[in-house]
Amino acid sequence: MLSLMPASKPRIRLFTVTHPNKRRQMTRAIPEVRTPITIFADDDVSWPSTVLPWILAPFEKDERYGGVVTCQRLRRAAAPTFSQRVWGFLGALYLERRNFDCAATTHVDGGLPCMSGRTVAYRTDILQDEGFTYAFTNEEWWFGRYQLNADDDNFITRWMVSHGWETFMQYHPEAEVLTTLEDNPKFLKQCARWSRSNWRSNLTSMFHEKHIWYRQPWSAYAVHLTTLSPPALLGDLLLVLLCHKATTSWEDDSRALAMQALGAWMFVSKFIKLLGHYIRYPVDFLLLPVSILFGYFHGGIKMYAVMTLNVTTWGSRDGADDYDAERMKKRTDSDLSIATRHNTAISRSFHFSPSKTAIAHPVTAHGPPPKAPSAALEYNELMRPQDGNELHTRTAKPTPLNKRFWKSVDVRIKPGIFSSLFYV
């Protein structure tokens, strides 16, 4: 690879791990970063020349920002077949809907459902923190019975919330990256994988970590709670049935008007988030019925996903599942013993009993987010090699935070002069 980029050879280094896994790959490269900002980007994204100043601007504006993500659009195929156009249309709407939700929650209370790893920037000190590295490579799932090595971007997003950092989405054409999604039936496998990730992460946020309830109450209501909502088809049928029953005693004209108003409201609710896409590509209005039908079909995908939360396969990329067993591993008694020792060491360092939470929350305790106990021998013993890949970390020095429940920021944070970064 480097032979194809001779001019960049002095500035680019390649690192490898024994078994391909994104979390392990990230923890191999992160300790090598020597700049204040680390940027992660997928290999299929295209950046405009303006994206770097925009993604770095929030870090320059306020030291409380720990992560910044960009908006995303689908790169449209040059000469697609009809089936590719339909699948691409569904993929474009997925990204459009996601942009809408993330931009809205960002400007209401600072919440983000997930900081997508397609292109995202973080403060390097956060990623190089010892506590982060251990938690990132030892995430528990299903009451501690499994070690989860998938859903890396969801984990980092939750870490920002639980440790008092602010996050931001740059929703502007100059901060817009282009990406690709499957334009064939494999798109359904992508949807199932995304849905499983949403289930796992949102359940963790709502019922295990619980920080979103007081840090980001609107996001908890508007995004996380929708995970528990019934499938769209069932919900719409119930609305129609209840409206029909409730207006039984009305005159025929009034009853018909009520049903029409309900139908119009349901249509607008499914259409409004996608308005930006239809403005950019008016020809896609012809595929509007496809989007509505797929929305109902996606309810089935959602139900299938919740019944297969133990599945972590991609299913849409060649070779991506060769080491799928690494993504969710059943924990042994030895693993549980090590985790207990780790939690005990953390608890002692914060003067908590082992039965209480291992991390003090900076939103409820004024001052900086807590640092990992770098001097604790019990803890340092846990930073052991994983398949021959030694984990090297250092203690972060996050910025002081004040107690905040709601966020007040500019609608757009424009780029400044902060330009130091590392691109992984």
Among all chains, which residue has been given the structure tokens 């082992």? Answer: 354
CA-to-CA dists, residue 298 to 101, 203, 272, 295, 365, angstroms: 18, 19, 18, 5, 42
Please name which of 158, 41, 178 lies closest in space to residue 111, comparing C-alpha atoms. 158
- Amino acid making up residue 166: E
**308 contacts: CB under 8 Å, gap ≥ 6:** 192, 196
Helix orientation angle between 152-162 and 130-137, rounded to the nearest 10 degrees: 140
SS3 for the chain is CHHHCHHHHHHCCCCCCCCCCHHHHHHHHHHHCCCCEEEEECCCCECCCCHHHHHHHHHHHCCCEEEEEEEEEECCCCCCCHHHHHHHHHHHHHHHHHHHHHHHHHHHHCCCCCCCCCEEEEEHHHHCCHHHHHHHHCEEECCCCEEECCCHHHHHHHHHHHCCCEEEEECCHHHEEEECCCCCCHHHHHHHHHHHHHHHHHHHHHHHHCCHHHHCHHHHHHHHHHHHCCCHHHHHHHHHHHHHHHCCCCCHHHHHHHHHHHHHHHHHHHHHHHHHHHHHCHHHHHHHHHHHHHHHHHHHHHHHHHCCCCCCCCCCCCCCCCCHHHCEEECCHHHHHHHHHHHHHHHHHCCCCCCCCCCCCCCCCCECCCCCCCCCHHHHCCCCCECCECCCCCCCCCCCECCCCCCCCCCCCCCCCCCCCEEC
What was the pLDDT predicted at 20? 78
How many degrees, rounded to 5, is the angle at CA 130 between CA 156 and CA 69?
25
What was the pLDDT predicted at 379? 27
Q: What whole-number distance in Å separates Cα of residue 401 and Cα of residue 84? A: 48
Domain boundaries, the chain: 2-228+281-423
Sequential pLDDT tens for the chain (424 residues): 667 766 666 778 888 888 778 898 999 999 999 999 999 999 899 999 999 999 999 999 999 999 999 999 999 988 899 999 999 999 999 999 999 999 999 999 999 999 999 999 999 999 999 999 999 999 988 877 888 888 899 999 999 999 999 999 999 999 999 999 999 999 999 999 999 999 999 999 999 999 999 999 999 999 999 999 999 999 999 999 999 999 999 999 999 999 999 999 999 988 899 999 999 999 999 999 999 999 999 999 999 999 999 888 876 566 655 666 777 777 776 555 555 555 555 444 443 333 333 333 333 223 333 333 332 222 232 333 344 443 333 334 444 434 333 333 343 455 443 333 333 3
Q: What whole-number distance in Å separates Cα of residue 424 and Cα of residue 421? A: 10
Please name which of 370, 380, 376 lies closest in space to residue 400, comparing C-alpha atoms. 370
Q: What whole-number distance in Å separates Cα of residue 117 and Cα of residue 172? A: 18
How many degrees, rounded to 5, is the angle at CA 156 between CA 150 and CA 160?
160
What was the pLDDT predicted at 398? 43
Dihedral of alpha carbons 66, 68, 69, 71, sign: positive
